[in-house]
Amino acid sequence: MGGSGLGKETTRMVDLNTSIASLLTNKRRAGALKSLGIVTVGDALTYYPFRVTDPVPVRSLREATFGAKMACAVRVRGVRSHAMPGHGGWRLEVAVDDDEFAASRRQPGGVASLVFFSRRRSYVDWLSGRLVAGQFVVIAGTPSVYNDRLQFTHPELLTVAPPAPSNPDDSSVTSREDGRTAGGGGLRYDAATPLEALTRVCRPRPVYHATSRISSEHIHDTILGCLRLLAGLPMEEPDPQAAPAPMTSLYRTSAATAAALTATIPDILPERIRESGHYLHRADAFSELHDPDSVAAFRSALDTLRYEEAFICQAALLQSRANAADHAAWACDDVSQRDEFVESLPFRLTAGQRDVVNDIGRDMATDHPMQRLLQGEVGSGKTVVAIAAMLQATGSGHQAVLVAPTLVLAEQHYESISRQLAAIPALADLPVLLLTGGMKLSQRRKVLATAASGDPCIVIATHAAFSKTFQAPNLALAVIDEQHRFGVEQRETLRAKGEKEPHLLVMTATPIPRTAAMTWFGDLDISWLTELPGGRKPIRTFVVNESDNRLMASMFAHIRARIDAGERAYVICPRIEEDDAGEEPDDSRGGSSAAASRAAAKARKTGGEFEEGSYFLSDEELGEEDGEGEPPAPLHSVDEIFARLQKLPQFSDVAFARLTGRDDDATKKAVMDDFSSGRTPVLVATTVVEVGVDVPEASCIVIFDAERYGLSQLHQLRGRVGRGGTESWAFLVSRARPGTIAEERLAAIEGTLDGAEIAEKDLELRGAGDVLGDSQSGGNTSLKLLRVVKDAPLIEEARSQAGLLLDDDPGLAAYPELAGAVLDFTRGNEAFLTSN
């Protein structure tokens, strides 16, 4: 009872682009829906449920099982309401029996109470008017006992119309298209018969991700109201105080309404592809997903919409790839500088490096832009490949830019590349420029002027490369390091910097499984570097139980020995600050255990205690149930561990440094210089050191709260050590409970250094949203249903079918709905490679 909150829509047509706010009478609900990203009717239909309930069993009152939901048809015998002065509200109690319904099941009749509470008298009066003595209603709820009597608190209920009058001239009850009836005196009923009402309340219900502002039931009612309006059915004005009511099947009652729904929700998949895969029409899929006749129907709808999503995604990627090939690029066919650099290296390139350099060389020699993703293990030599590619551009008389996600990494690239090229006589005069947002204005102007002149040069930049002031008309190659920190929109910005579209090389050390790469980077050619350069020794990884004091002391003693040998050690913590002394842990600030992990994992606070760009797992993801047993302790902070380690006898006379994302650029540079030189051989930091920091003397890394990180991120952090050819160790300090998923995850990374294997395990245990970042998994994009591991065969099939379709019709001229969906996907996914 109560309805969807949608008002009457009689004067204009409702379609998928209609604003929800223009239809809602309840503006609070409109605001709550907007906070979920539901702005239009189309947004509502694509706000998918994450599960469906089991059908509700039909039982008589005598068959009730306490705590188990049931449905029953009952007759009202009495209604009474009274105020509750101590609570500031009203209580409505409805006495019912099921004598007639129980007899149909060959059961003795029973009695029960239906109890409703409200702070508003208007709601109690409205409900009392609906539930008059003698009224037949169907209820669905969970039975309990109060004062030795069976009771249902706030059950769902549908009123049933009385039997049709025997006198055809009696118009006190009339039927309507949607199956409801209206009685004399303005009474309206929810169902024509008990069977219809039972069918509706017993059907499986979709469950949606909700918030404190709006429940799953209200989301469901709003979506069903949208479907009614799309089907051309009127929507009655609900009582604003009414509870949500099941509205199932109110818009699929005739061929006419079904046809209207199909007309207002056009199909996106080409008919032959839909039929060959035995998928539903899009209108039917939405209906069965949001209003399923059965669990099987719900799953069939989910399969259809998941395939539609895969098809749109792959069509967009393939079309983007084909469109890029039509653009003009500088042909860079002079490899003399590249070969000079390779010959001067003090080591031989691995076979994998040579193959990738040759592949890139062939791509860059053409007059259409290269688009290549280079994926490599930590320390596999991606930077050497990038330098070779940039020298192919400059050797051909053009410019190249390398964009790094952090100032520390940009400065390291600048110093390393400048030093290497200065040592080669033929390349010593090639300008290597550093462009950052925090550099002095005079230096910045000089770099910008050199780039704008078009003279051959290499520019190493941070996000400053995306500013409007940076122009490089002769730009032939853009290299993006750690691509997961940048978005498609930023890539497009670089493409507009020159007179022609630059060749593009994006690199990542974050292991991405083949199916994930096909899904998210399908517009790029993909190369892998799997071999480590000669001299690299495997990193020894150990999981250390923090409660084992003896083992912890041994670990610290080992680190001290390595420091005495002239090496360095990282200590990584997930938080920046400790809780304020004397205060209770504040869940909203990430101070308490379960809530802290959820806040860090889901909100990834950047202005508070959690480091930007870090992913932390909730208790559910760790395999630990909320509310059972002793809650996990708060996450360790840089401040806490920094102070604690300096008090340990193992580190007497050892200088420590601290580094977090909050530090300004000058502080970061000074801290890293001191750490590299050995003045402060122990660096306590957040994950700000995760990407690209290269200190060859670093041989040990300790990661506190390791169970709270994703495996791929642990693998990245572990790659900060062992870069100088020395023995190296990674210690994963954990408080994971025995038998949990967290323990299983750490055991997986302890046993292998294979990044691809680690990434597959991470995807298996956590899902794409946590591994790739929400924005790369569909959390903030058009992708909402695909799972790259489970749906790999589906994605491959969709890619194959989309490729065949685009071969015949590159512009999708014959499929306007699909073309529109592809365009919407492309425009709405500026961030599907976005920063973490």
Quick: pLDDT tens for 285-319: 999 999 898 899 999 999 999 999 999 988 988 88
Q: Which of 49-53, 578-582, 585-589 has the highest mean pLDDT?
A: 49-53
60 and 47 in a common domain: no
Considering the domain boundaries, does residue 372 fall inside one? no
> Going edge to edge, which strands form the sheet with 729-734?
540-545, 729-734, 698-703, 568-572, 682-685, 656-659
Q: Which of 164-173, 591-600, 719-728, 804-813 has the highest mean pLDDT?
A: 804-813
- Of residues 299 and 600, the one with the higher pLDDT is 299
Considering the domain boundaries, does residue 168 fall inside one? yes
Counting the structural domains of the chain, the total is: 5
Burial class (CB in 10 A: 0-12, 13-18, 19+), 439: middle
Considering the domain boundaries, does residue 836 fall inside one? no
Q: With cut-offs at 50, 70 and 90, classify the pLDDT of residue 605.
A: very low
Rounded Cα distance, 818 and 268, in Å: 5
Rounded Cα distance, 712 and 710, in Å: 6
Please provide the average confidence, as pLDDT, over all residues in the chain: 80
Q: With cut-offs at 50, 70 and 90, classify the pLDDT of residue 6.
A: low
544 and 689 in a common domain: yes
Range of lowest pLDDT (39-43, 354-358, 737-741):
737-741
652 and 632 in a common domain: yes
Q: Which of 208-222, 293-307, 779-793, 813-827 has the highest mean pLDDT?
A: 293-307
pLDDT at 751: 83
Distances (CA, A) of 4 to 24, 186, 212, 230, 537: 9, 20, 18, 14, 64
Mean pLDDT of 273-292: 93
Of residues 495, 522, 407, the one with CA closest to residue 833:
522
Mean pLDDT of 769-798: 61
- Of residues 1 and 704, the one with the higher pLDDT is 704
Q: Please state whether 3 falls in left (phi above 0), alpha (psi between -120 and 50) or beta.
A: left
624 and 734 in a common domain: yes
688 and 546 in a common domain: yes
Domain termination residue (choose one: 203, 226, 245): 203
Domain termination residue (choose one: 203, 224, 256): 203
Q: With cut-offs at 50, 70 and 90, classify the pLDDT of residue 439.
A: confident
Of residues 47, 42, 6, 3, the one with CA closest to residue 229:
6
The pair of three-digit structure tokens given for residue 381, joined into one six-digit string:
């030599």
Residue numbers of the domain that contains 128: 55-203
Considering the domain boundaries, does residue 376 fall inside one? no
Range of lowest pLDDT (121-125, 416-420, 703-707):
121-125
Considering the domain boundaries, does residue 629 fall inside one? yes
Residue 95 per-residue DSSP state: E
Asked if pLDDT for residue 834 goes beyond 60, the answer is no
Asked if pLDDT for residue 136 goes beyond 60, the answer is yes
Q: Which residues contact 705 (CB under 8 A, 6 or more apart)?
A: 573, 574, 616, 635, 636, 733, 734, 735
State the DSSP string of 657-696: EEE-TTS-HHHHHHHHHHHHHTSS-EEEE-GGGTTT---T
Q: Please state whether 678 falls in left (phi above 0), alpha (psi between -120 and 50) or beta.
A: left
Range of lowest pLDDT (387-391, 558-562, 796-800):
796-800
66 and 173 in a common domain: yes
* 370 close to 329: Cβ distance less than 8 angstroms: yes
For residue 394, what is the domain's CATH number? 3.40.50.300
Of residues 377, 314, 669, the one with CA closest to residue 521:
314
Domain termination residue (choose one: 712, 736, 752): 752
Is 588 strand, coil or helix? Answer: helix
Tell me the percentage of the chain whose pLDDT exceeds 90: 42
Count the helices and strands in the chain (H runs, E runs).
29, 25
Considering the domain boundaries, does residue 65 fall inside one? yes
Mean pLDDT of 728-737: 92
pLDDT at 667: 87
* pLDDT, tens only, 494-506: 766 778 889 999 8
Range of lowest pLDDT (748-762, 784-798, 820-834):
820-834
Considering the domain boundaries, does residue 601 fall inside one? yes
156 and 36 in a common domain: no
* 505 close to 479: Cβ distance less than 8 angstroms: yes
pLDDT at 710: 78
In sequence order, what are the beta bridge partners of 52?
206
State the DSSP string of 328-395: --------HHHHHHHHHSSSPPPHHHHHHHHHHHHHHTSSS--EEEEEE-TTS-HHHHHHHHHHHHHH
- The model carries a pTM of 0.63
Look at strands 136-141 and 143-146 and give their pairing: unpaired
Mean pLDDT of 257-275: 90
* 117 close to 90: Cβ distance less than 8 angstroms: yes
Rounded Cα distance, 21 and 177, in Å: 27
